[in-house]
Structure 1
Amino acid sequence: MMISDLPRDMVEEVLCKLPMTSLRRARFTCKRWNNTLSKDCRFTRKYNGEAAKRKEFQVVMILEYKVYSMSVNLHNPSPSIEPIGKLHDAGVDIINVFHCQGLLLCVTKDGTRLVVWNPFTGQTRWIKPRDSYHRCDRYALGYEKKNNYPLKVLRFVDDYDRNLKRQVREFEIFNLNSSSWKVVDFNPHWMIQYFYRGLSLKGNTYWFAENKVAPGKIGRVFLLCFNFTTESFGPRLRLPFRGRYGDTLTLSSVREEQLAVLFQECATAYTLKVWISSKVGPNALSWNKVFLSVDMRPLLGFQFHCFAGSFFVDEKNKAVVVIDTTRGHPFTIRNMAYVLGENGYFKSVDLGDFAPMRCWPLVCSYLPTLVKF
């Protein structure tokens, strides 16, 4: 019997046991397998469901300029976070990744190139700048909720450039359907710090923002949503805490349905808190009570970096995994995953070497998709 003659159920059973990085190679085994992996939405749902049954889930991480698929299992006495494989191995170093519905927007190390990428199917799309990219650019990947859901990339910068000795303000949107940039006229009364990472959810992107205040003063932090359908920023959205510049503030998603926010105040208490939203939309946002609160003093005794501190949530175990680094001499620092839970539960997982002040470790949740662009 040829591989192509295997019953459909048996083929799906085999493919569901493969890690995501092996699925791309499996596509080329035969035409039938390629059709299953690249066109069958039912199989994608089954694949995600089987992963959940194994009490494992996958995340995407940047470690040392490389993008990895990682298998996470927090059900064992000793939690494991293991690399499944390197997702992008085209000789290009990646400094930042933005996730939206199974697609990744990657920024190269030198900041001069953008690529939209589907790790599940292997499809990539390099995006040329309208003029040029800026070292302080912020990016987001989203989609319009009409007209066949076209994918869009938001790029903006609103900073003082010391080299040019002037304020640089540019807002523009790239439409992947039309392969064109569109300049958008914004003159915001708020600012988004360069280390605040946006989080895409249901096609829109959420950011922490601050009021523009006089030099030397600190503004309060709030949430903003960029609506890719209306191509505009919405009203201020309420946070479940009073944050300010210097606090560790990070966004994540839960089941691709709700926002999660991590808050650690820049004070000696170092208490870390995580909330999950109960309702989320571009114009309205509400929160459940605190999902997890942890006193970090006896555990680590330091605040997570505002540059790092990305995280993901395991609702079943009521745990949070924060990706950051150790502290100490620059040549001994390690990338680490810190697993935090109820009743003082704390574990750490070593993720390897850290290149000082170069590539901060980063994690984002991930579910495979068959979306093409």
Structure 2
Amino acid sequence: MTTPAPAARTALDLTADLPVPSLEDLYRDLHRHPELSLREHRTAGLLAGRLREAGFETAEGVGGTGVVGRLRNGDGPTVLLRADMDALPVREETGLSYASRTDGVMHACGHDLHVTWLTGAAEALAAGRETWQGTLLVVGQPAEETGQGAARMVADGLYDRFGRPDVLLGQHAAPGPAGLYPHAPGLIMSASTEVDIVVHGRGGHGSRPEATVDPVVTAAYLVTRLQTVVSRELAAGDSAVLTVGRIEAGTRHNIIPSEARISLNLRSQSEEVRQRMLAAIRRIAHGECLAAGCPREPEVTVGSTFPVTVNDAATDAVVAAVHGEVFGADTVFDPGPAMGSEDFPGLALDRAIPYSYWFVTTTPPQVWDEALGDTLPEKLASVPSNHSPHFAPDLSTVAPGVRTLVSGALAMLAAG
């Protein structure tokens, strides 16, 4: 049996006596009280309080509701650990005893677990500061789900006020049998773009459709035709997704409305593909409205865009190696890029700062064992995923998620 590397040995020592019951209580509390983007006041207060108690210089209200903790510990690199804090407008259906108490809002993406992991890691590293040198920045980021949080924190002087980090580290709860730590040395998550379309018609009475231009019918054609953007306008090797997430029109059964609204979400892994999709959407929207005789051209508005998440290969190799030492080589593997998106790269100032971002699988063993299918992909399609009203990470992942951050940080900080 090989001897673990120094960072791995130190991480195991620092996390050997984690206050797991306390961290589990924190997680349950955060899960019960989810807060939407830029409203994470209670969450931020809990995180800031724990950081102060651990000895961090702590600031709140960065970028709105963001939290920053800084622990200076001699000469050495500056390492930033980040967790996002916001919840989603999802009505919880997990049946957990600690389910959300806020109607229509839920931690359906695991950000409550992220804050718990970050808290545990910050406390462990502060308690074991004799083992490392450098500066530790701990960031609770707001508004990840809307793609606003990272940019707001940077614009509010995150690095001017607290120091520019040499490396960024982050992780995300994901479906999969608890106990795996997927890493990708390059592209790991895709770009996401929101697009809104307004179709203008001519409203009127439902009994006289001949006197109207029905935007609902035009919107229906649009939704159908948009499905050909990926299937017929992109090469088979180009990974892309186009989702119609919302369509709204009308107020009464017998009124033909004057407009219809469509909301799209695009996923792509290159800027070229993103631009081709946007051009096709504009062309199709204008063409369908022209064919329907709409009195005005459609409004096509491009909204929030998440950049691709591309790990620095050298940085990620170091973190993946220490995770393999801590948890076993068979727990770390390259899953390839996911179509999901993340606001984490916004902290990297256009990738000027190297970063490593990885996943921690969190599906409860019983749920995984009972999932349909025999292969990993088949079971992944059967278990609750992020943004599902049934998404419920297993509490057994609290301690391992702390160890991933601690070991990653120690691999980047100077040895004490």
TM-score of the pair, normalised by structure 1:
0.25
Q: Which has the higher contact order (CA 8 A, sep 6+)?
A: 2
* TM score, norm. by length of structure 2: 0.23
More helix by share: 2
More strand by share: 1
- Higher Rg: 2
